[in-house]
Amino acid sequence: MDLSQVQLAEEFFSSEEKERIREAVVRAEKGSSGEIATMVVWASDRYREAEALGALLLAALVAVVVAVAFRHVTIWSYIPLVCLLFYPVLLLLRRFPRLKLSFAGANRVAEAVRERALVAFYQQGLYRTKEETGILVFISLLERKVWILGDRGINRKIPPGQWQSLVDELTRGLREGTAADSLCRVISRCGDELARHFPRQSDDLNELPDEIIVS
């Protein structure tokens, strides 16, 4: 992952917002044996194929406009012009990465976020909690998408689809610029749901970090 992208993810929430999120996790975990982890990444994938396709198509389009404007449309002028424009357009897409998502396609983007969330779930050790009650709230900023993943113990009692309303709420928060408030509400509602199915035990330990994870 590019260090600049890690920095973008690191700076997405202010210090005050990060502390509010940490406190929300602490409160949510007090009533259950569940373990809630929150994570934010800048992007779930580089979408290199989308960069290449977008650069080619946009270069070809600009080349057509230039050729028509100068009334000099021949195959011998058009192809070199496309090649000449390809790399500048590629750099433009890398400079403004949200543009390339249009060339990736909705299914490709959704799958990339899902896979990145699954990788994060295992990398952060959420599958190692004592009662298999780890839950990850995963945010991918570039795509403005959210995944909520529960471990096996949670999925035996709470269907994964039940988290969809929380995913929708946090996604709206990302789009409307109220991500921190939405995330705190989602964490609280996760805690309520976990408390119903997994009451806190007297020997319960805090097995996962309460601070938001940035990657």
Percentage of the chain beyond pLDDT 70 is 98
For the chain, the straight-line distance linking the first and the last C-alpha, in angstroms and rounded, comes to: 8
With bands split at pLDDT 50, 70 and 90, how would you rate the model's confidence at 2? Answer: low
Predicted confidence (pLDDT) per residue in 155-168, tens digit: 998 888 889 999 99
For the four alpha carbons of 2, 4, 6 and 51, in that order, the dihedral sign comes to: negative
SS3 annotation, 152-205: HHHHCCCCHHHHHHHHHHHHHHHHHCCHHHHHHHHHHHHHHHHHHHCECCCCCC
Predicted confidence (pLDDT) per residue in 56-77, tens digit: 999 999 998 888 887 766 777 7
In the prediction, which pLDDT does 48 show?
95
What pTM was computed for the model? 0.90
List beta partners, residue 32. 199
Report d(CA 202, CA 135) in Å as an integer.
20
Predicted confidence (pLDDT) per residue in 164-190, tens digit: 999 999 999 999 999 999 999 999 999
Q: For residues 9 and 214, is the Cβ–Cβ distance under 8 A?
A: yes
Query: Does the structure show a pLDDT above 60 at 1?
Result: no
